[in-house]
Amino acid sequence: MKKPKSYPYLVENYVKYVNLIFSYKLNGVLDLSDENWLSPSNILLLKNVISEANKKGGYKPPKNEKVKGYLDYITLKRNSVDVVGGETYIPFSRITDSNADSIASKVTGMIGNNLNNDSLQVLKYCIDELLANITEHSQYHNSFIMLQNYPKMNELEFSLMDDGISIPGNFRKYMISFDNDCDSLNMALNGISTKDKNGERGFGLHSVFELLTKGMNGKGVLISGRGILSKQFINDGMEPPIELFRYANDSGEATRFDGCYVAFRVKTDLSPNLYEYLEY
C-alpha cells in the first residue's frame, strides 16, 4: 500500500496494528513498550494478539504506566458475553447471536449520561445495524465490540470486528463481480449486497456511515480482506469524501483482515435527525 502524506485517523490506527503484527510474526515479540497512547480501535484489534503473545512469553507491555494500566483494565479477562462497563466505556466484550439484540441498549444505557436523546437514538440504531450485519451475514465464529466515551472532549469512539466470511468473500460466494477488495467495500457501502439475489437492497451500512459521518460529524473506517474504506466529516454542506486504500495481494498475511472490522469516532454534542439519513 503506497503511503500518502498522512492517513485518516482510523486508517492510521489500523496501519499501526498491521505494522505491529508484521513485527510480531517476524520476531515473535509484540512490542508495545514505546506506546504512549492506544485508542479503543487499536485495543480491539490488539487484544487477542496480546493474549497470544503473553502466553508465549513474547509480549512487551507499554512502559507508560497510565497506558499499561488502562490497557490491562479495559481488556482483562474480557471474553464474557455479559457486557459490563462503566459510565464512559464498554470494555472488550464478546458478541454472540444470543446477546446481540441487547448490546446496543446496554451500550447506550451505560454511556449516555452526556448524550442527548437524538445522539443516543442514532448511536443505538447504528450499533443495532452493525450487530445485525455480523450475526446475520458474516458467518462468524468470534466477534467483539469496544467503546470509549470522552465526555470532556464531546467525542465517542467505538469499533466492532468479526472473523467471518468477509465482504469480498461473501461477494465471491454469491458471484457478485468486483475489481478488488476496495471495490467490494465501496459497493457494499453504496447498497450492493447479497440481499440483491432476493430483489432487496442492503442500505443498512450506507445509512450507518451517513448517520455517523454526516449526522454526528464523525470519522468511519470499514476494513475487510485487503481493502480499507475511510469516510469522514469535513464541514457542513460538504459530502464526506470516501478514500480507499488497498494492500497488494502479495503483501503478506498480516495485511489481510479475515472477517470485517468497522470503527467510528463521532461528536456527541450534536442533535442529529435519525430519519434524515435513512434509506430503504
Q: What's the CA gap between 225 and 5, in Å, rounded?
A: 24
Range scoring the smallest mean pLDDT among 46-50, 130-134, 250-254: 250-254
Q: Tens digit of pLDDT for each residue in 133-188?
A: 898 888 999 999 998 889 889 999 999 999 999 999 989 988 999 999 999 999 99
Q: Tens digit of pLDDT for each residue in 210-230?
A: 999 999 999 999 999 999 999
pLDDT band at 200 (very low <50, low <70, confident <90, very high): very low
CA torsion sign, 169 to 211 to 230 to 71? negative
114 CB-contact burial (10 Å; exposed 0-12 / middle 13-18 / buried 19+) = middle
pLDDT band at 88 (very low <50, low <70, confident <90, very high): confident
The owner of cell 485517523 is: 9
CA torsion sign, 210 to 221 to 186 to 48? negative
Cβ partners under 8 Å of residue 58, min gap 6: 24, 28, 29, 30
Largest CA distance in the chain: 55
Q: Which domains does the chain possess?
A: 9-276 (3.30.565.10)
